[in-house]
Structure 1
Amino acid sequence: MEAGRRSSTKPVQSLKPTKTVSVDEDLTKASDALPLPLHLSNAVFFTLFFSAVYFLLSHWREKIRTSTPLSVVTFSEIIAILAFVASFIYLLGFFGIDFVQSLILRPQTEVWNSEDDDEVADVLLHKEDARKVPCGQALDCSLPPLPPPAPIVTVQKVLDENPVTVLTEEDEEIIKSVVAGTTPSYSLESKLGDCKRAAAIRREALQRLTGKSLEGLPLDGFDYESILGQCCEMPVGYVQIPVGIAGPLLINGREYSVPMATTEGCLVASTNRGCKAIHLSGGATSTLLRDGMTRAPVVRFGTAKRAADLKLYLEDPDNFDTLAVVFNRSSRFGRLQGIKCAIAGKNLYLRFTCTTGDAMGMNMVSKGVQNVLDFLQTDFPDMDVMGISGNFCSDKKPAAVNWIEGRGKSVVCEAIIKGDVVRKVLKTTVESLVELNMLKNLTGSAMAGALGGFNAHASNIVTAVYIATGQDPAQNVESSHCITMMEAVNDGKDLHISVTMPSIEVIDCVTV
């Protein structure tokens, strides 16, 4: 989200950047030697290097066998020597210099091997918060400064490129008509043809109607055209949420940086510490168990017997292929996986499950369900569709059906954390962690009657990632269903930890 602030009743200074963006002074690299993609340049010079070495060794070996002086050099050997020198210089510049400097001159830039990492993390986790206002309202909510980095060139970017909107006499008349109720607030974008101007007028009308100031809510610096007809209706501004990065997280042999949008202190720092422990222990492994989005309409009949007849029809394997063909007409990606029904008297709840490709797929599933309901109306004309969703799905609500059957992505992830990493990074012991997990995450949650809440704070991390990556944060409810298991392994020296999450509802997004 972008930053800016205005007030239609008072002149407000445009937001100034409080920080600078740093860039390296010299970005020239050895990989810029050829106007080719990086992998092609490397392939060319690798091939050239090894070809030249092979050619020279074979020729020199032949000279030794025939007692020919090595000082006698042919034209082809001169070309090979030049190729060897050129490729060696390129490879040294690309791989060698930075690697040597990282070991000798800048050892502190290693991702997880700084000796001071734990001390810095402790300061971040335990430093008392001395802010006078919430982080979301503060101009500078950074933590105490760390030692300065190497000299760099700084580039400033103006965050608020659009000036604060000045209301004209025409705008004043429109505001009065909105306040009087003669002009609907929702129609301003279509009437004015300017989304930002419509937001400013709506904002001022709201202030006059409520008598409350919106000065703390930014208006400028946001593209209101991009949300028209897409997400948020009748906007009056936007909010600022800082985004932090945890990681790298090593999972299935690949490193990921984890974006987290939050105003909760220490959340990113503690997540980052977990990423460090996993990375130093060799990484984690995840497995996708199921992938299927659900939608469950509710229908009503005149008698419970008729509802039971439809239940038996839908759950009959002989009818599934026909229903799948009807369902799949709605999308190129949606494919029906199964139908499970629950009956309550004359009411029947039909839980459809289907794959949705890269999309989260709520609309996709709903269209397929509507196709099936229209098809069923022929054989069951007395069926009354009460709602396309009867909450047996179940979406954005804690439900045992999601905990047991799964919804969206069902995933299990595990890692073995080395004992010395547990002591040095997590500042505890394997035995203590195993005991605490049993008493807190398992027994304590059971005492509370938890539903899918057998974990420490999965919802914190899930919600922060959801907001940062544009997911629906309301689906944190079922996406945070998680059970954390811990066990001492390797004769009690190391910690095996796993999380099982049966209902992660997410749109596939680009890796940061």
Structure 2
Amino acid sequence: MSRQPIPRFEDNYTEEAAQARRDFLLQQTGAALSHTGHYSLKASDVRNNTENFVGVVQMPVGVAGPVLVHGEHAQGWFYVPLATTEGTLVASYSRGMRIVSESGGVKVTVADDQMQRAPVFEFEDARAAARFVAWLQQSNGDIQREAEQTTRHGKLLHIQHWQVARMVYTRFNFYTADAAGQNMSGKATRAACQWILKHSPEAVTYFALSGAVETDKKHSHMNLVHSRGKRVIAETTLKREVLQRLARTTPETMFKQRQRSAVGAQLAGSAYSGPHSANGIAALFIATGQDEANVVESHAGFVFMDITPEGDLYFSVTLPSVICGTKGGGTGLPTQQECLKLLQCDGEGKAKKLAEIVGATVLAGDVSLLSAILADEWVSSHDAYGRNR
């Protein structure tokens, strides 16, 4: 059988073009795509989001909460949309949200906010590379000007650099406002590097716009230390009475398990030291039109606990690289826009608010799952409500 290309048209974002591709796939594979081809958005809505459009995958969306959030941007009660096919997930997050809310809520802080592109420059030898680094630092103003000419909202914050042999690995750090910012920072960095290549006093023998130090859509220790996206810290103090009544456990039991699971996570080389940050992040990202691949960076982080003098449990989650936005990407699609409105995160100036809700959601989910493990309700809940049914 010879290669049969997927049909393309002068305008690929019409209902007729989508239907023609579905008909073609039916002929080629026998798959009718009758459900995939049933949707409420317009084909033209996805012009900037996908290619060879044939329809949509309908993902169940449940609502967890409400959760009481005391953020610098997100303040009050929030109902959180979670797109998932995992039974018990929404129920578990709702339970965690009740536990933390009845304990007084979740305090959330965005401690850092920057997005990167990381070019590599190569020179004749290490001394030429070292001279380039000195010139790069002196030329920061000119480089910043060139970068920021490409964007209305982006700001070049600073440039990191590491010299290895005759190479200089750099990391251009940008503030990207309401956008997640990967494309914005890439375009701005390219413009800056065109100026650098033209004006560098040292001959650049090799250049690439990415030297892989930004670790785009990959987990890395770099992004634990130097945030890619928003560094989100969520904190709560779980009251002893609330834990006993709603979670059927105690602060001491949770803290003891934390000590042991921390060793297990280190033994496994886990990117996250808590129960399951990726669950809530992935479900919330899909519901609100984030780039789902950024879950790999966003889920990494640390859980820290302590017993308070009053005998309650301080519980915190630190997510160093939450990559989310409220403008661009899939955030403007109809159902994703509705989920953002549900969170009051549509419009200008809402990206940090969304990041704070992400942090609160992860913390609530961790509290619930850890409690279920300790109360021996983890398996039984899945048997009753979830995938084992």
In structure 2, C-alpha distance between the alignment counterparts of 1:484 and 1:187, rounded to whole Å: 49
The match for 1:373 is: 193
User: Per-residue deviation at 1:180?
Assistant: 7.6
Structure 1 residues 180 and 310, CA gap change in structure 2 (3 angstroms)? closer
Note the 1:108-257 alignment, pairs <5 A.
181=4, 185=6, 187-188=8-9, 190=11, 195-209=14-28, 211-215=29-33, 217-252=35-70, 253-257=75-79
| Alpha-carbon distance change, 398 to 194 in structure 1, aligned in 2, over 3 angstroms | closer
Q: Residues 228 and 243 (structure 1 numbering): CA distance in 2 closer, same or farther, change over 3 Å?
A: closer
**Matched residue of 1:422: which SS?**
helix
Change (3 A) 1:487 1:345: same
Q: CA deviation at 1:194?
A: 6.7
Distance in 1 between residues matched to 2:15 and 2:206, nearest whole Å: 41
**Aligned residue identity for 1:323:** I
- The answer to which structure, 1 or 2, has the higher relative contact order (CA under 8 A, 6+ apart) is 2
**How many residues were matched structurally?**
324
Q: Distance in 1 between matches of 2:303 and 2:175?
A: 27
Q: For residue 125 of structure 2, what is the amino acid of its counterpart?
A: T
Give the structure 1 partner of residue 294 of structure 2. Answer: 475
Residues of 2 paired with 1:261 and 1:446: CA distance?
30
Q: In structure 2, do the counterparts of structure 1 residues 432 and 194 end up closer, same or farther at CA, with 3 Å as the change threshold?
A: closer
Check if 1:500 corresponds to 2:322: no
TM-score (norm: length of structure 2):
0.78
Aligned pairs for 1:254-293 (under 5 A) are 254-293=76-115
Superposed CA offset, 1:451-503 (max 9, x none): 3x1110000000000000000110000101121111111342x1110011110
Structure-1 separation of matches of 2:3 and 2:218:
39
Q: Judge conservation of contact 2:13–2:47 (CA < 8 Å) in 1.
A: no
After superposition, the Cα gap between the structure-2 partners of 1:468 and 1:228, relative to the gap in structure 1 and judged at 3 Å, is closer
Report the equivalent of 2:353.
Answer: none
1:406 to partner: Cα distance: 0.8
After superposition, the C-alpha distances for 1:317-362 in whole angstroms (9 at most, x for unaligned) are: x432332222222222111111111233333321000111111111
Between the aligned partners of 2:146 and 2:122, the Cα distance in structure 1 is 21
Q: CA deviation at 1:277?
A: 0.8
Change beyond 3 A, Cα 1:320–1:418: same
1:323 aligns with 2:152: no
Matched, 1:445 2:265: yes
TM-fit CA distance, 1:189: 5.3
Aligned-residue offset at 1:376: 1.0
Residue 385 of structure 1 and its aligned partner are, at CA, apart by: 5.6
- The whole-number CA distance in structure 1 between the counterparts of 2:61 and 2:244 is 29
Distance apart, 1:217 and its partner CA: 4.5
SS of the residue aligned with 1:271?
helix
The aligned amino acid for 1:266 is T
Say if 2:273 is the partner of 1:460.
no
Question: What whole-Å deviation, never above 9, does each CA across 1:166-188 have from its counterpart, x for those lacking one?
Answer: xxxxxxxxxxxxx985xx53523
Structure number, greater radius of gyration: 1
- The letter for the 2-side match of 1:322 is D
Instruction: Find the counterpart in structure 2 of residue 118 from structure 1.
Output: none
CA, structure 1 residues 207+344, in 2 after alignment: closer, same or farther (shift >3 Å)?
farther
Give the Cα–Cα distance (whole angstroms) in 2 for the partners of residues 306 and 222 of structure 1.
Answer: 59
